[in-house]
Structure 1
Amino acid sequence: MDDDDENLSLARVEKMETCCECRGVAAQVRWYYQPWQTKQGSRTFHGKKELHLSDRIDTRSAYTFEAKCVVHTLKEYSKLSKARIEDFFCRLEYKVDSATFMPDQLSAYCICEMPYNPDIPMISCPGCKER
C-alpha cells in the first residue's frame, strides 16, 4: 500500500437525491474502513486492498466525489488476473460503536486457523510456517 492509499476515504453510495439546500445532488453514503482504521488495527491476514463496510452513514454532496472504485467480494477479487488501482475487496462489516465485525469469524485456510490473505501466495502459512 502506498501513502495515497492511506489517505483514501471510501464509501458506498446508498442513495442519491436532489438537494434544495445545496442546489445540487446529495448522496447518502455508507463508509468503508481500512483495517488500520479499526480499533483492532491491521492483522497479517488483511490484504493491501481490503476494506470493511461500516454501519456509519452520512450525507455528502455528490460534488465531493473524486473517483469511482470497485469493491469485490474476496472470491471475486482472488479471481482477478490483475487488480487495477480502483479494485478493492471486502469480506467483513465493521460495527463502529461496538468495534466488532460481522461475521465475527473468518474461514481459515491453515491448521493454525489463520484466515486467507490474497496478497500472500499459499506456499507456506505466515502464522505457523506450515507448508
Structure 2
Amino acid sequence: MHCTNVENEQTSKSNRQSSETLPTIRKRIQKRTEKGLIDATFKQLYKQNKLDEIVTKAQENNESIYEEYDEIKIHGTTWKINDNVIIRNGDDFIEDYVGTIQKICSVLEPSSKKLICLCKVQWYMRKSDIIIHKPRARQWIGTQEVFSTKTNNYILAQTIMQKCTIVDCEEFVNMQKCDSTAYFNRLEWDVENKKFTNMNKIQLYCLCQQPWNPELNYIQCDKCKKWYHFQCVDLVIECYDDKDYICGYCN
C-alpha cells in the first residue's frame, strides 16, 4: 500500500515556488509595471501638450526612442534647422505664431510605436503680444513687425504651416515684393519682465519721438533733414504738393 502525505507535498511545492518561481514572477510584474508607467506617462504628457517634458523623458530613457535630425519632411514640405516659419495657432486662425527652428527630433511612443515628430522653436512676439503690456507702442509697431525673444519650446512638427522671411527694418522698407510672410525685426522682447531689452539702440523720430514705422507716411525737412509724421505736423498727404518742406524748428 502506497501512501502520500498531501500536506507535506503541498508545502514542498510551495517552498519550491517561493525560492525559484516567485522572484522571476516578481521581475516580470515589475517590468510590466514599469513599462506601463512609462507608456502612460508619455500618453498623458502628449494629451496635456507637455512636449518639452516628453523630450526630457525620452532623453533620459535607456531605450533608443529619441533621435535628432537636420531636416524633416512633413506633408511634402521639408523643414530645416534655422528656417523661419509660421506656426498654426489653434486658438486664433487670424494671427499665427512666428518662430525659428532650432532643433528637429522624434520620440518613439513606447506602446503604440508611433513617432512623435517635434521641432524646438525660438519664438518671435507679434504686435498683439506687445501692446497688451505696452499700449502706447501701438502707434509705432508695424503690422509685420516681430520681436525676437530668448524663449523656446517644442512644438509638433505638423503644426508648421509655411516658411517666412525675417529681415531688419531697412531691408523690409526696400523690399520689392512684400507679402504676408515677410516680417521685420529690430527689437528684442524680454518675456519674463515684459519689456524691450535694447530700446536705447533705436532712433526716435518726429515731434512725438517714436521709432520709425515703415507703414506710416513721413516727410523730411529740407533744412535739418529730420523726418516727421504728416499727422504730427498737420499735413495731409493727399493735399500736399509742395516740393520743399521746412519744419517748425527751421522756419
TM-score range, shorter chain: 0.7 to 0.9
Q: Does 1:28 align with 2:120?
A: yes
Q: How many residues align?
A: 128
Question: Partners in 2 of 1:58 and 1:84 — Cα distance?
Answer: 27
The secondary structure found in structure 1 opposite 2:218 is: coil
The secondary structure found in structure 2 opposite 1:66 is: strand
Following superposition, the deviation at residue 128 of structure 1 comes to 3.6
| Cα gap change, 1:127 to 1:57, in 2 (>3 Å) | farther
Greater Cα radius of gyration, structure 1 or 2: 2
Gaps of 5+ in 2: 1-91, 220-227, 235-246
Following superposition, the deviation at residue 127 of structure 1 comes to 7.1
TM norm structure 1: 0.82
Gaps of 5+ in 1: none
Letter in 1 for 2:186: R
TM norm structure 2: 0.46
Superposition map of 1:28-107 within 5 A? 28-38=120-130, 39-41=133-135, 42-105=137-200, 106-107=202-203
Q: Is the 8 A contact 1:33 1:54 kept in 2?
A: yes
The structure with higher relative contact order (CA 8 Å, sep 6+) is 1
Determine which of 109, 121, 125 is the counterpart of 2:205.
Answer: 109
The secondary structure found in structure 1 opposite 2:141 is: coil
Mean Cα deviation higher: 66-75 or 13-22: 13-22
| Cα gap change, 1:37 to 1:104, in 2 (>3 Å) | same
Mean Cα deviation higher: 59-68 or 111-120: 111-120
| Cα gap change, 1:6 to 1:54, in 2 (>3 Å) | farther
